[in-house]
Amino acid sequence: MEHQSELQRRRTFGIVSHPDAGKTTLTEKLLLFGGAIQTAGAVKSNKIRKHATSDFMDIERQRGISVATSVMSFPYRDLQINILDTPGHKDFAEDTYRTLTAVDSAIVVIDVAKGVEEQTERLVEVCRMRKTPIIVFINKLDREGKDAFDLLDEIEIKLGLHCTPLSWPVGMGQSFRGVYSLYEGKFIHFRPHGKQEGEDVVAVEDLRDERFSQLIGQRAHESFLHDIETVTAVYPKFSAQEYLNGKLSPVFYGSAVNNFGVRELLDCFVEIAPGPLPRETEERWVRPEEDAMTGFVFKIHANMDPRHRDRIAFFRVCSGIFRRNTNYHHVRLDRQLRFANPTAFMAAKKEIVDEAYPGDVVGLFDTGNFKIGDGLTEGESLHFKGIPRFSPEIFRYVNNADPSKFKQFAKGLDQLMDEGVAQLFVREDNQRKIIGVVGALQFDVIQYRLEHEYGAACSYETVHLHKACWVSSQDPQQLQEFMLRRKKDLARDKDGRLVFLAESAWTMKLAQENFPKVQFHTSSELA
């Protein structure tokens, strides 16, 4: 019974958006309303000492962007809420893609002025592929922006989401009066730069009530009534089941930086969002209500506490109860492992937990046993459907800039590559190391973290490569011939797998034509 009741209490979701849409600020305000923090950090200002709780790395505080997924848990209305705040910048998209495998639903944040942006399209596509239920939060209503109806059209066309507004703005920018909650039948009065207290919420039984008109102004009231008529005529009535099936996305409006519209979003979310969902493995579907514990690692982070050089594996519990000091079967290594100090997260702050339930994300101290995609069970051999590793698009030679720090350089590079956001290839002919990334900003992050977390310095050299492809073949003889003839273009990845480094699209095409029985893969399953 305890397992079932705890199961019903869990809500695990990710927050995704294009950079600067206000995702991290929204995360802060959700934590604020949940009582998890007392003061929200200012992510935009580097002049003051407060920073976003979810941006816990030094480089994140300096640049004012998120470069790593952070996990935060807090209780709210008798529920346990687990938020995964993801990087918005496209250079860190791979971290976000993997994180989306560990959530049960998502909140997509859209800037009212910029509308749907490129990175939002990519991330929502990943959610749609997994049929992840999505709630849309249109942010920054205190600024001038696009018309509310135009935004809904944009969301439906560009993101392919079927929308239904559960709140509606009255005005925008200088004329912004507040938001009417269609879900709860109340009006939340906006007071700029002020906290939203109880008196700002007005129950509205009749939308044509004269008192409501006086509160927001006659012209705004007439425009609002016209909008609501259109909304009820054009958009479908909200259906919780359609939302859970990923076929209908509720839309909310607000201003996260002003604490506005966030509580309404959170209150609706905890009522309609799904609890822990089943997870697919190569062998079968794993259901959260099963008694046996199962789960998988979706992220690894080195040096969450630089003073202790700790390495944490982020583990999503999928079924059963994860218990401290209990032996679990590491499927890939075929070994029993026990964890004395599993932790729950509040960004970089951690506390030891004795038990964790499906939907929870637990931090496991790791000495190098884990790779992204690894599964833990109570004995059953389950391989959770792979979290892909994508072929990098930008490459550079990496050199140790300080020979006296060879050990620090080697350890730092090894641990940072384990996090999975960059990939290391070692050339077969001269053993030179090449780092491949999806976005160039990753090179700055690696250089910064090597220096500040490991005391090592690195330099880069340009290397002109078109693509890195993993190689396989059912014909050992042709594979051997390929390896002999193309040795200068071959490398090994961190796990010792053979990789073909194509200098151009023409080189790639030539290799495929000359060696038809050799397969070239642009993604590699991590599981």
Quote the pLDDT of residue 527.
Answer: 34
For residues 426 and 302, what is the distance between their CA atoms, to the nearest angstrom?
22
Quote the pLDDT of residue 64.
Answer: 43
Which residues are CB-neighbours of 508 under 8 A, at least 6 positions away?
Answer: 466, 467, 469, 500, 502, 520
Written as six digits, the tokens of 342 are 């599993």
For residues 360 and 316, what is the distance between their CA atoms, to the nearest angstrom?
6
Give the chain's radius of gyration (CA, Å).
25
Distance of CA 317 to the CA centre of its chain: 17
The predicted-structure confidence for 218-236, as pLDDT tens digits, reads as follows 888 999 999 999 999 999 9
The predicted-structure confidence for 398-433, as pLDDT tens digits, reads as follows 999 998 999 989 988 988 887 777 889 999 989 999
Predicted confidence band at 68 (pLDDT cuts at 50, 70, 90)? very low
Predicted confidence band at 194 (pLDDT cuts at 50, 70, 90)? low
Residue where the block lists tokens 């790639």: 508
Please indicate whether residue 422 or residue 138 has the higher confidence score (pLDDT): 138
Asked if pLDDT for residue 93 goes beyond 70, the answer is no
Asked if pLDDT for residue 32 goes beyond 90, the answer is no
Residue 9, H or E segment: helix 2-9
Q: Which spans in 419-504 are helix H? A: 441-454, 476-485
Quote the pLDDT of residue 192.
Answer: 62
For residues 360 and 358, what is the distance between their CA atoms, to the nearest angstrom?
6
Predicted confidence band at 475 (pLDDT cuts at 50, 70, 90)? very high
Quote the pLDDT of residue 98.
Answer: 75
Domains of the chain listed by start with CATH number: 13-67+88-95+104-272 (3.40.50.300), 279-377 (2.40.30.10), 389-525 (3.30.70.3280)
Asked if pLDDT for residue 135 goes beyond 90, the answer is yes
Predicted confidence band at 397 (pLDDT cuts at 50, 70, 90)? very high
Mean pLDDT on 256-284: 89
Predicted confidence band at 95 (pLDDT cuts at 50, 70, 90)? low
Written as six digits, the tokens of 186 are 């109340």
- What does the angle CA 232 – CA 108 – CA 83 come to, to the nearest 5 degrees? 125
Predicted confidence band at 78 (pLDDT cuts at 50, 70, 90)? confident
Quote the pLDDT of residue 196.
Answer: 46
Quote the pLDDT of residue 526.
Answer: 39
Quote the pLDDT of residue 299.
Answer: 85
For residues 514 and 510, what is the distance between their CA atoms, to the nearest angstrom?
6
Predicted confidence band at 350 (pLDDT cuts at 50, 70, 90)? low
The predicted-structure confidence for 145-155, as pLDDT tens digits, reads as follows 999 999 999 99
Quote the pLDDT of residue 288.
Answer: 95
CA distances from 24 to 65, 122, 126, 175, 426 (A): 9, 19, 20, 26, 37
The predicted-structure confidence for 279-319, as pLDDT tens digits, reads as follows 999 899 999 999 999 999 988 877 655 555 567 888 999 99
For residues 145 and 84, what is the distance between their CA atoms, to the nearest angstrom?
28
Residue 73 exposed, middle or buried by CB count within 10 Å (0-12, 13-18, 19+)? buried
